[in-house]
């Protein structure tokens, strides 16, 4: 039986791997949140002050982190080590295997899993953002790319991970839908504006409500400015979207009692683009929205769905039964492991 070096280490030196995992997590957190204080680090990683003090001293002695009044930051050597360590830890933690298993089970183009669970460790959401940015960079081609974006806190994390070099691709960010009465900073218009600012690109605004009556819908799409942005959305070369918990999304939309009852009776668990799905992936309710529709996705080459946390697993599984096979899912370990259990 041929064993890899990692398999041998797991059997002979399990403590070594645990230490590597702990130090990798510390470096990862500092990289995302720097500059960061020791107390913040201790609370966020659930490590005692004593344990953390000794780990921080070790990393400092190895010239992987530097310390100042404002907090700890990674050195250049620390960033290089973290990049190499990330590849090793993905293998050790079985993340590569997780990704392949999920791709096969869901029948989609690609799954990208980041370590951690954003339900327990909120900073993991930033890692989802960074992984999404990396995937976008690989997919963008040519000098004109229209990117349709939904709202939500996960998309806001993606926005914060984008960098000026994206601007070389002639990006135009457009909201995939109207506003849904959520926190302004997480609305699609705001997220698009941040993405454009971070990448030195352009964005268009879509000042329409997400949920409208048939009469208002027909009236709105006759407006020249709205119609122009709507056509840009329909011609997007890439879509970035989140996946919501059905009841949470219904509440954020201030859904009527009658529609809420329909969502509850249909046992909806997930939501995307105004569609509510039960665990079998069946559509149990649809909101009349101005913006991207589920059927529009068939004409879009690159679709990146981003959602993490163990609590989102049911919603992700439900939506993926309807998602185009060209979809790329960016998720975290918490959601990925739960998805494989179902």
Find the CATH number of the domain harbouring 229: 3.40.50.1360
Both 143 and 248 in a single domain? Answer: yes
Both 172 and 38 in a single domain? Answer: no
- Average pLDDT of the segment spanning 214-240: 77
Q: Over 90: is that where the pLDDT of 15 sits? A: no
Share the mean pLDDT of the chain.
88
Q: Over 80: is that where the pLDDT of 137 sits? A: yes
Both 205 and 104 in a single domain? Answer: yes
Both 125 and 57 in a single domain? Answer: no
Three state DSSP letters for 293-340: CHHHHHHCCEEEEECCCHHHHHHHHHHHCCCCCCEEEEEEHHHHHHHH
Domain ends where: 32, 60, 92? Answer: 92
Q: Over 80: is that where the pLDDT of 189 sits? A: yes
Both 274 and 220 in a single domain? Answer: yes
Q: 112-135 burial by CB neighbour count: b if 16+ within 10 A, else e? A: bbbbbbbbebebbbbbbbbbbbeb
Domain ends where: 92, 117, 135? Answer: 92
Both 180 and 205 in a single domain? Answer: yes
**% of the chain at pLDDT higher than 90:** 56
Both 143 and 291 in a single domain? Answer: yes
What does the pLDDT read at residue 75? Answer: 95
Q: What is the domain extent for residue 66?
A: 5-92
Q: Over 60: is that where the pLDDT of 181 sits? A: no
- Average pLDDT of the segment spanning 100-127: 93
Both 202 and 281 in a single domain? Answer: yes
Instruction: Report pTM.
Output: 0.86
Q: Over 60: is that where the pLDDT of 180 sits? A: no
Both 149 and 297 in a single domain? Answer: yes
What does the pLDDT read at residue 209? Answer: 63
Q: Which of 31-45, 82-96, 306-320 has the highest mean pLDDT?
A: 306-320
Q: Over 70: is that where the pLDDT of 37 sits? A: yes
Residue 21: partners with Cβ closer than 8 Å, 6 or more residues away: 89, 92, 93
Both 63 and 116 in a single domain? Answer: no
Both 37 and 117 in a single domain? Answer: no
Q: Over 70: is that where the pLDDT of 53 sits? A: yes
Q: Over 60: is that where the pLDDT of 182 sits? A: no
What does the pLDDT read at residue 179? Answer: 62
Domains: count for the chain: 2
For the ranges 25-34, 177-186, 192-201, 221-230, the lowest mean pLDDT is seen at 177-186
Domain ends where: 69, 92, 115? Answer: 92
Q: Over 90: is that where the pLDDT of 76 sits? A: yes
CA 56, CA 26: separation in Å to the nearest integer? 8
- How many whole angstroms from its chain centre is CA 61? 35
For the ranges 126-130, 166-170, 215-219, 252-256, the lowest mean pLDDT is seen at 215-219
CA 153, CA 43: separation in Å to the nearest integer? 22
């Amino acid at each position: 039986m041929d064993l890899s070096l990692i398999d041998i280490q797991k059997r002979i030196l399990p403590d070594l791997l645990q230490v590597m995992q702990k130090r990798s997590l510390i470096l990862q957190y500092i990289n995302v949140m720097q500059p960061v204080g020791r107390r913040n680090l201790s609370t966020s990683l659930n490590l005692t002050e004593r344990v953390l003090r000794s780990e921080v001293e070790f990393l400092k002695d190895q010239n992987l982190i530097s310390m100042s009044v404002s907090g700890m930051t990674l050195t250049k050597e620390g960033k290089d080590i973290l990049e190499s360590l990330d590849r090793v830890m993905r293998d050790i933690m079985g993340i590569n295997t997780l990704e392949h298993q999920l791709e096969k089970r869901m029948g989609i183009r690609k799954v990208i899993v980041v370590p951690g669970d954003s339900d327990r460790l909120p900073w993991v959401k930033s890692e989802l953002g960074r992984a999404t940015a990396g995937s976008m960079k690989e997919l963008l081609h040519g000098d004109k790319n229209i990117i349709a974006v939904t709202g939500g806190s996960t998309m806001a994390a993606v926005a914060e991970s984008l960098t000026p070099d994206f601007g070389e691709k002639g990006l135009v960010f457009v909201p995939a839908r109207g506003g849904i009465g959520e926190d302004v900073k997480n609305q699609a218009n705001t997220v698009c504006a941040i993405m454009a600012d971070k990448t030195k690109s352009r964005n268009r605004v879509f000042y329409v409500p997400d949920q409208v009556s048939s009469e208002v819908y027909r009236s709105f799409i006759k407006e020249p400015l709205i119609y122009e942005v709507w056509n840009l959305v329909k011609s997007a070369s890439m879509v970035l979207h989140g996946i919501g918990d059905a009841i949470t999304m219904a509440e954020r939309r201030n859904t009527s009692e009658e529609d809420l009852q329909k969502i509850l009776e249909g046992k909806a668990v997930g939501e995307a683009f105004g569609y509510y799905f039960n665990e079998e992936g069946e559509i149990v309710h649809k909101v009349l929205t101005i913006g991207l529709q589920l059927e529009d996705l068939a004409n879009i080459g690159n679709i990146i769905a981003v959602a993490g946390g163990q609590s989102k697993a049911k919603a992700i599984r439900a939506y993926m039964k309807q998602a185009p096979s060209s979809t790329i899912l960016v998720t975290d370990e918490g959601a990925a492991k739960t998805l494989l259990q179902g």
